[in-house]
Chain A
Amino acid sequence: MGHPASSDRDWVTLLSENSRTGGSRETSWRVPQGVRWQFRAGRAIRSAPVLRDNLLYVTEIHGAVYALDADSGRPAWTRQFPDWIHSTPSISGNMLLIGCDGGKVHSLDRDTGKTIWETTTRGEVWSSPVVRDQTVFFGSADGRFYAVELNSGEPRWTRALGGRICASAYAAEKHVYLGCGDGKIYALDASSGRIQWSTPTGDGIDSTPAVVSDMVLIGSEDNFLYALDAGTGALRWRFETGLGISSSPAASGEIVVFGSKDQNVYALDVQTGKLRWKAFAAAAVTSPPVISGPVVAVSAGGPIQCLDAASGHVLWTAGLGSGLQSAPVLAGGRIYNAGQNGIVYALE
């Protein structure tokens, strides 16, 4: 792994780490006793925050980037971009990587917000950049998947695929796995971009894969969650829900958890795809759930729900405002959440 989280107080990308396991480091969770701080960004927030070295990074839909002190919520710095930002940022070393709707990916100095490099695509970059082995991987709505050098942003390779690429990729040692608007799940050679295999689904894909036990787990707008052999792309199992799945699955131990637009959160046995439990969320679930030890936190419609990972029973809810992709950050005994109402909360 290129730059994994440095401690249990860090959360460097969507679902905590590039492994997309959902950050299952905490062994126990207590019900939050209150709000430590809240920060009003002023405009809507769509994406998830990330955290490192006690700085919480939040992007606003209208292009503002905030670095907030995780203890106080006070901005350490702010940067305004001209384009909208749907992308969840990623952290690697001292870099903050952000995709923009104008087609650029920016690398910023984490401490100051100043630009280190930027690179350009011909479509919106909604995906969260993924870093592995000094390479940044990301997809664009221009139908291409990009690999650029971490330190310079110089291109390593580009691969044209058959549809828009809006969701983030999973970078393994030799392969990069991703879903595409053309309905296919791809495995690309990480060093060349060559297509190793592709497996079709019944509709476009807007979900980020997780890889567990040599299986690629990913949702499709065709209503199914797929488990594919990571080496060949062969179908191991699939599970049907009532509507499309853009929520990215989080896997931990024996279960994979994901949301569906049919308003349910599902937990399946990773090996068999058999249903362990499902929980009604009362709104379409498009954001990724987060597994943290014994709990699953998911943002759906309005409140954050914290579910018992073993049973799916609701442990507590908090009406903090949600975003379509704004997964909460559970780190260092706190919960950080940014919502469509433009407010960032820190609970503890």
Chain B
Amino acid sequence: MDRRDFIKTAGWGTAALLYNSGVAGGQDNPGRPAPPPIEVHGISPRKPSVLGIPGLFPGRVVEVFQGNSISDNRVSQPIVGRMLREGMKELTGERTPAAAWRRFIEPHDVVGIKINSSGAPVCCSSPEIVREIIAALRSIGVPAENIVVFDRYSYEIELGAYEALVPVGPRLVGIEYGAFDAARYDFDVYCDANFFGESETRSFLAKVVTQEVTKIINIPTMKDHSASGVTGCLKNIGYGCFNNVARTHQQPFTYTDPFIGYLCSTEPLRSKSVLHIMDGMREVWHGGPITSNWEFVCEAKTLFLGTDPVAVDAVELEAVETKRREQGAISLWDSDPRTLTTNIDEFHRDSHKNLYFRQPGHIASAGKLGLGVFDLKQIDHRRLRLT
């Protein structure tokens, strides 16, 4: 099947939208120039999916806590399985987990499970949760060979040992192994913006998203992020499915706000991302996204479920900010130039230091693009505390 045939048979058409960043212009930082125009060149569905972001339940977040779900850094698969089942029922209002899953997935779907392995081996999507999701998909009739567990960097997948820990059947796809490795990206789908005068101004979307899967279940982790403030649902699919995104950071500035939102709004990523299950077994409250300092990692013992990535990330942001406040760390919103360091080791040791003017405002900006509800007062935040 060539590209034209694919577009025809799948009912998708190309679309290019040029934004002047007026919709979601990003938060102000001292001295940072305004974001450049961003061209979003996607493949739009002729008939938008109701399952696409913000999905079936805009503004709804289900938080499931179980005190024994993780202990001494070991996750209990039976317990997270129960948390997942209860969370899915609460999210959808269905009486059984199977009925809940069927709201999003049909047996003929090719389901991509987008993990977050970038913090491996300290904090990455728990294989126990991934296995429970695979089991749930299998239980509603999705063939094992129609399940694809994927992430951007193959070597990070390996650091998380997913190649051994994922069950037999589903495929495991690393989009790239290292820098300058673009073979598995779709050159027809990209976001184009020149942030700092870089030579390559396009970020391309992975073929596994554009050509292989029909639905995506997003499994981000609960972490702060040195550039974007936190990394959650939005960043996991945005920066985790497009290449050439680190170019948005140049100390002390970053354009993660508004770029993350634009990436997530790109079709077909937006329409295929139907469910977000944030792994809050561990919470990295400083030093993220890649840290080995256990001083800043706690066991939050929580899952967050939703179809609205903006709402889930807004809840995550509040939780990480609260944790930082409890621990005496500076706010994620801090823009005092005296907190900046160019020494990454110092940042990883000191929760009063920043590498960038962080941009947690990327979540609100994504909300302005129609990707979900940011205002905590408008979020239907449901808490389940399992015993």
Q: Which residues of A contact B (CB under 8 A)?
A: 43-44, 46, 61-62, 84, 123-124, 126, 141-143, 163-164, 166-167, 181, 202-206, 221-222, 243-244, 246, 261, 263, 284, 286, 324, 340-342
Contacts and interface: CB of A to CB of B under 8 A. Distances in A.
A143 B177 CA distance: 24
Contacts of A143: 168
Interface of B: 73-74, 121-122, 127, 154-155, 158-159, 161, 163-168, 172, 177-178, 181, 183, 292
A282 to B, nearest CB: 9
A204 B183 CA distance: 31
B164 A43 contact: no
Contacts of A203: 165
Contacts of A222: 74
B168 A324 contact: no
Contacts of B172: 124, 141
Given A286-B158, A324-B159, A181 B121 contact: no
Contacts of A243: 73, 121-122
Given A46-B155, A123-B168, A206-B163, A340 B121 contact: no
B164 A206 contact: yes
A84 B176 CA distance: 11
B174 to A, nearest CB: 8
Given A163-B168, A243-B121, A141 B163 contact: yes
B167 A62 contact: no
A204 B161 contact: yes
Contacts of B165: 181, 203-204, 221
A205 B127 CA distance: 13
B333 to A, nearest CB: 32
Given A244-B121, A244-B161, A324-B158, A142 B168 contact: yes
A142 B169 CA distance: 7
Question: Lowest 6 CB-CB distances: which A-B pairs, in order?
Answer: A143-B168, A206-B164, A261-B121, A204-B164, A181-B164, A44-B178
Given A46-B155, A124-B172, A263-B292, A246 B166 contact: no
A164 B161 CA distance: 11
Contacts of A341: 178
A62 B178 CA distance: 11
A260 B279 CA distance: 24
Which secondary structure dominates where chain A touches chain B? Answer: loop
B161 A221 contact: yes
A30 B293 CA distance: 35
Given A181-B165, A206-B164, 17 more contacts: A61-B154, A163-B168, A164-B163, A164-B164, A181-B167, A181-B168, A204-B164, A206-B163, A243-B122, A246-B161, A246-B164, A261-B121, A284-B292, A324-B155, A340-B177, A341-B178, A342-B178
A322 to B, nearest CB: 10
B326 to A, nearest CB: 25
Contacts of A205: 164
B172 to A, nearest CB: 7
Contacts of B178: 43-44, 61, 340-342
Contacts of B183: 62
Contacts of B73: 243
A341 B122 CA distance: 24
B292 A61 contact: no
A167 B172 CA distance: 16
Contacts of A244: 121, 161
Contacts of B159: 261, 284, 286, 324
A203 to B, nearest CB: 7
B177 A46 contact: yes
Contacts of A221: 161, 164-165
A265 B73 CA distance: 21
B181 A206 contact: no
B14 to A, nearest CB: 28
A228 to B, nearest CB: 18
Contacts of A126: 163
12 contacts: A46-B155, A84-B177, A123-B168, A141-B163, A164-B166, A166-B163, A206-B164, A221-B161, A243-B122, A246-B161, A261-B121, A324-B158
Given A46-B155, A164-B163, A141 B168 contact: yes
Contacts of B292: 263, 284
Contacts of B158: 46, 246, 286, 324
Contact of A44 (B127, B167, B177): B177
Contacts of A44: 155, 177-178, 181
A164 B167 CA distance: 7
Contacts of A263: 292
Contact of B164 (A163, A340, A342): A163
A329 B188 CA distance: 43
Nearest to B156: A324
Nearest to B159: A284
Given A44-B177, A44-B181, A62-B183, A340 B168 contact: no
Contacts of A167: 164
Contacts of B155: 44, 46, 324, 340
Contact of A43 (B121, B122, B181): B181
B72 to A, nearest CB: 10
Contacts of B177: 43-44, 46, 61-62, 84, 340
Contacts of B166: 164, 181
Contacts of B181: 43-44, 62
A206 B161 contact: yes
Nearest to A42: B180
Nearest to B167: A163
A318 B275 CA distance: 46
Contacts of B168: 123, 141-143, 163-164, 181
A296 to B, nearest CB: 22
A166 B154 CA distance: 14
B313 to A, nearest CB: 28
B41 to A, nearest CB: 26
A55 B86 CA distance: 59
A123 B74 CA distance: 28
A44 B176 CA distance: 10
B141 to A, nearest CB: 21
Contacts of A202: 74
Nearest to B166: A164
Contacts of B74: 202, 222
A44 B183 CA distance: 13
